[in-house]
A and B are shown apart, each in its own frame.
Chain A
Amino acid sequence: MSNTAGFPLLSLILFTPLAGALLLLFMPRRSETAIKWIANLFTLAGFAVSLPLWFWYDAQSAEYQFVERIEWIPSIGAQYFLGVDGFSVLLILLTTLMGFIAVLSSWTAITERLKEYYIFLLVLQTGMIGAFVSLDFLLFFLFWEVMLVPMYFLIGIWGSANRLYSAIKFFLYTLVGSVVMLLGILALYFAYHATTGQYSFDVTLYQQHNFAPNLQWWVFLAFFLGFAIKVPMFPFHTWLPDAHTDAPTAGSVILAAVLLKMGTYGFIRFSLPILPEGTRAFVPMMVTLSIIGVIYGALVAMAQRDWKRLVAYSSVSHMAMVMLGMFALNPVGIMGSIVQQLNHGISTGALFLLVGVMYERRHTREISEYGGLSKVMPIYAAIFLVMTMSSIGLPTLNGFIGELLILQGVFAVSLVWAGVAAAGIVLGAAYMLWLYQRTMFGKVENPKNEGLADVGFREFALFVPLIILAVWIGLYPAPFLNRLESSVARVVSRVSPQYATQSQTAPAAQGAQP
């Protein structure tokens, strides 16, 4: 493991947003324009400094890259240990991009307590990036918890009607999960010490260590609670619709695009490779919960009258699909699961932005308030169309690639699972298209909708990168799949060694290209 960049690139990416937050702390409250500019510039800079990861990352190497390792608390073996593989590179890029988009989308939407708003967003950004780059379990947990408080405030201060309730619900749910996860981490830590005589929170060491099966079983359950609440998996999903509905647009975007990925990231980075036997033991439970999630999320989404709540429930369904692919435990399934995580970030993030654009104009999210918008706001309708298609997995757009890989992986394991997954996709198409039809088509019946302005330049700019990414992944996913290959191989070699020799991902990657 080494750092080919020659300078602490990951630390730079990690602390750029925090530096922005610190700078904002000393800004006078009244200079609102300056505050907005600083926040935007720092998140843009954050994205810019993360771009080298895409170019400098060596997809051929199976090692963690851009590694930084400094003693932190030597007496307990905790280190400031950062490093990335293809999986985290893509998630970091998603985070920095969505972070910038979220900040930019707040330009006119947020009008009070601007300074704190941007500080919280920037701190949240550092927390999320930190969780993706940490290879020390304690450090990871620290960043994991750091995300909690800013998000709590974003919902609680700048949210809509039911914000206090939703914020505390989000907070307590996530917190319960993470404290139990902490116990799991400590159990591993002491078990590792018991067998090797060494105190260490080093994740890379854990990934090579064979923990006792009995311990794996318990720790898997502990991690499951932490990660499954974040994902969120059925039946731990109830915080999500509330949090999403009441969060401000930027909060929803970050929540959907990045925060939910914390759960799936946790499973792939920690549960699967560190606890392979525990993972295999829990496949039936995980698959059952995922299947319920896919169908249940879709059905509930279909019944929603609130636009944002519908998208929130679609998230539950989509993330359950991600989990299903992951627990096929074969290379294609895991690859599909990761790709679909990116896709979900792009398309659901965009869908929340779209709701936000409309909410800023009409201050209502009731679907029945809308109708015929394609005549009033044609550009908006076009963007919405692209993102709807991306979400339901239309070929040539990103969603198709992810769903195809997941189905392929799941199919190899069980025909029944694949059937249910396919049914979920159909249901997904149903509720999304129905939403589109109800809001965009028909006559403009509500007079309030008649004079609505179409998306402006700033708003349009928010969607451009997302549309580009959706098309890019849809048409030419190979650069993404290549970067993921070694990460997937590492996970698979631990959790399903029987696949390790044969590479199934390569033909899948080619097969996915139209």
Chain B
Amino acid sequence: MPAGMSAADFYYILPEIILALGAMVVLVADIYVPRESRGVVTWLSVAVIAATVVGVLAVGDPHVTISRGLLSIDAFGVFFKLIFLGSAALTLLMSGPYLTIEGTPAGAYCFLVLSATLGMMIMASGIELVTIFIGLETMAVAFYILAGYLKPSERSNEAAVKYFLLGAFSLGILLYGMSLLYGLTGTTNLHAIATAVADPEGANRQLLLLAVVLMAAGVGFKIAAVPFHMWAPDVYEGAPTPITAFLSVGSKAAAFAMLLRIFVEGLPAMSVDWRLLFEALAILTMTVGNVAAITQSNIKRMLAYSSIAQAGYVLIGVVAGTSRGIAATMIYLLVYGLMQMGAFAVIVMLRRRDAIGDELKDFNGLYFRHPVAAFAMLIFMLSLGGIPPTAGFMGKLWLFGAAIDAGYVRLAVIGVLNSALSLYYYIRVVVYMWLKNEPVGSEPRLSPALALTLAITLAGTLILGVYPRPLFEIAETSARALGAVAPAAAVK
């Protein structure tokens, strides 16, 4: 038994252990499963995720710090872990038919998705810089490979190379910031850092500020905040569609978990500085993302810019920084996961042997070809745009509410104007699907796994839009585990 670990510690990381072992079983199973029944591997991976979810729920929320302060097992982590596991499961469900069409083997693919999820889970529970970084690396490496998984596709290869180069670069910046912080405070534990930084006689403010900026830039790459977003559209367009979905939901949520851990838990004393920084990032990210999305004709690219803008909205919750703001961030990430996954499931559905199906014109008259898919996409687009009665509205309500509550009225105003702007391009998809009368392409068919994906995401988006009570209550409780920073000012 390693030094500093007790038997109880192993119990608390049971979900991670299940996932790690399960991922290896999947990798090995792929070799022994006959080629014609490869679908089994996908379902096996979903089963591994289900087992991990059971593990997460069984361990629950003991709110303990384990392994000498490496990991914190708390409600905050549980909430995020469930988002990661859910999005991984949805990704796998929509991957099966997609991979068959693309003609690529599933085994290593599923293994990589599970590894990425493992990395995310560590990011969400880590309360120590090195641990968080290891989680981040685990996730990132898996995604580098996944982005380039379609070997014959030039777009996919380009995506992988771009993602790898920029990702490695950003990790370097992040690591530099972390090392500065370690040098200034003499510790990598976030709680200890918080104490050290709170001491006004302590560390050098200028250098601390530099560390904050560098870390914010590093995290900014991962959440694709403007001006660190350049990679996102190319990577999102080129990567296999389910991976794009996973990247835009899972990876983004994990980066936000990390961001909240580092800044809210580790650097509350620097909140004046990082709030200013993230406020600027939020405004830029929302606006640039939305404006750029308007001009796109490729739907994956459009959703890439849209997801940049969505990250901008989520940043509003971070800037608010209050318990309400953190809860809003968490609520919105979950809600966003549902609608984004759903939208990508529809795109995957349109992928046929003879058509890539990700241009806007491929949605032409979708309503006449497949009314159910068109209806689902309508709901996802409205939800992304924040129109009730969808979950997206409830999420935005919390975000903007938190901003006003914390004194950031200006940010809320920019946020709502942006969401009005965003509807212009979301509605364009609806126009193509419902109002254009010249159906093109073949009849899309709904495989059982895709149907399940659509059903889950659609039901989630609609139910949480009408009755969000349970989600709100869970998120509020979970957010409290993290602590919070005080409101910036009274309502101006």
Residues of chain A having any CB pair with chain B under 8 Å: 72-76, 138, 141-142, 145-146, 148-149, 152-153, 156-157, 163-164, 167-168, 171-172, 175-176, 179-180, 182-183, 186-187, 189-191, 194, 215
Contact = CB atoms under 8 A, between A and B. Distances in A.
A182 B491 contact: no
Contact of A187 (B409, B434, B476): B409
Contact of B427 (A146, A168, A189): A168
A167 B490 CA distance: 40
B491 A191 contact: yes
Given A183-B404, A190-B404, A142 B491 contact: no
Interface string B365-401: 0000000000000000010001111000100010011
B469 interface: yes
A164 B435 CA distance: 8
B389 A186 contact: no
Nearest to B378: A149
Interface in B387-421: 387-389, 393, 397, 400-401, 404-405, 409, 412-413, 416-417, 419-420
B417 A186 contact: no
Nearest to A148: B387
20 contacts: A72-B467, A72-B469, A75-B472, A146-B388, A146-B389, A163-B435, A164-B435, A168-B424, A172-B420, A172-B424, A176-B417, A179-B386, A179-B417, A182-B397, A183-B409, A186-B401, A186-B404, A186-B412, A187-B409, A215-B491
A296 to B, nearest CB: 26
A145 B393 contact: yes
Given A141-B388, A183-B413, A186-B400, 5 more contacts: A75-B476, A142-B389, A172-B424, A182-B416, A183-B400
Nearest to A212: B491
Contacts of B389: 142, 145-146
Given A75-B469, A76-B472, A179 B416 contact: yes
A110 to B, nearest CB: 15
Contacts of A138: 397
Nearest to B387: A145
Contact of B387 (A74, A149, A168): A149
Contacts of A141: 388
B469 A74 contact: yes
A191 B405 CA distance: 9
A187 B409 CA distance: 9
B44 interface: no
B264 to A, nearest CB: 21
Interface of B is mostly: helix
Contacts, number: 85
B473 interface: yes
B393 A187 contact: no
Nearest to A152: B427
Contacts of A163: 435
Interface of B: 382, 386-389, 393, 397, 400-401, 404-405, 409, 412-413, 416-417, 419-420, 423-424, 427, 431, 434-435, 467-469, 472-473, 476, 490-491
Given A164-B431, A183-B404, A176 B393 contact: no
B423 A171 contact: yes
B400 to A, nearest CB: 6
Given A73-B468, A76-B472, A164-B435, A176 B400 contact: no
A183 B416 contact: yes
B388 A145 contact: yes
Contacts of B469: 72-75
Contacts of A183: 400, 404, 409, 412-413, 416
Contact of B434 (A156, A171, A194): A156
A139 to B, nearest CB: 10
A191 B404 CA distance: 10
Contacts of A73: 467-469, 472
B420 A176 contact: yes
A153 B434 contact: yes
Contacts of B416: 179-180, 182-183
A148 B490 CA distance: 34
A384 B470 CA distance: 55
A168 B435 CA distance: 12
A142 B388 contact: yes
Contacts of A215: 491
Contact of B491 (A175, A180, A187): A187
B404 A187 contact: yes
A126 B394 CA distance: 20
Given A146-B389, A186-B404, A189-B401, A175 B423 contact: yes
B423 A172 contact: yes
Contacts of B404: 183, 186-187, 190
A168 B430 CA distance: 11
Contacts of B413: 180, 183
Contacts of B412: 183, 186
B43 to A, nearest CB: 31
A168 B426 CA distance: 11
A80 B405 CA distance: 23
A164 to B, nearest CB: 6
Interface centre among A145, A146, A157 (most CB of B within 10 A): A145
Given A141-B388, A142-B388, A190 B401 contact: yes
Given A75-B473, A148-B387, A179-B417, A156 B400 contact: no
Q: A-B pairs with the 9 shortest C-beta distances? A: A179-B416, A142-B388, A145-B388, A176-B420, A73-B469, A75-B472, A186-B404, A179-B420, A156-B435
A73 B435 CA distance: 36
B426 to A, nearest CB: 11
Nearest to A180: B416
Nearest to B385: A175
A172 B473 CA distance: 33
Contacts of A187: 404, 409, 491
A187 B410 CA distance: 12
Contacts of B400: 182-183, 186
A88 to B, nearest CB: 20
Contacts of B397: 138, 182, 186
Given A172-B420, A179-B417, A187-B404, A157 B434 contact: yes
Most buried by B among A73, A138, A153, A187: A73
B441 to A, nearest CB: 20
A161 B404 CA distance: 43
A163 B476 CA distance: 44
Contact of A175 (B420, B435, B468, B472): B420
A168 B469 CA distance: 33
Q: Which of A72, A138, A142 has the most CB of B within 10 A?
A: A142
Contacts of A180: 413, 416-417
Nearest to B389: A142
Among B397, B405, B419, B472, the most chain A Cβ lie within 10 Å of the Cβ of: B397
Nearest to B490: A194
Contacts of B427: 152, 168, 171
A171 B421 CA distance: 11
Contacts of B476: 75
A164 B419 CA distance: 21
Contacts of A149: 382, 387
Contacts of B388: 141-142, 145-146
A190 B404 CA distance: 8
A179 B419 contact: yes
A224 B462 CA distance: 30
A163 B419 CA distance: 24
Contacts of A75: 469, 472-473, 476
Given A75-B473, A187-B404, A194 B420 contact: no
B401 A157 contact: no
A104 to B, nearest CB: 25
A321 to B, nearest CB: 30
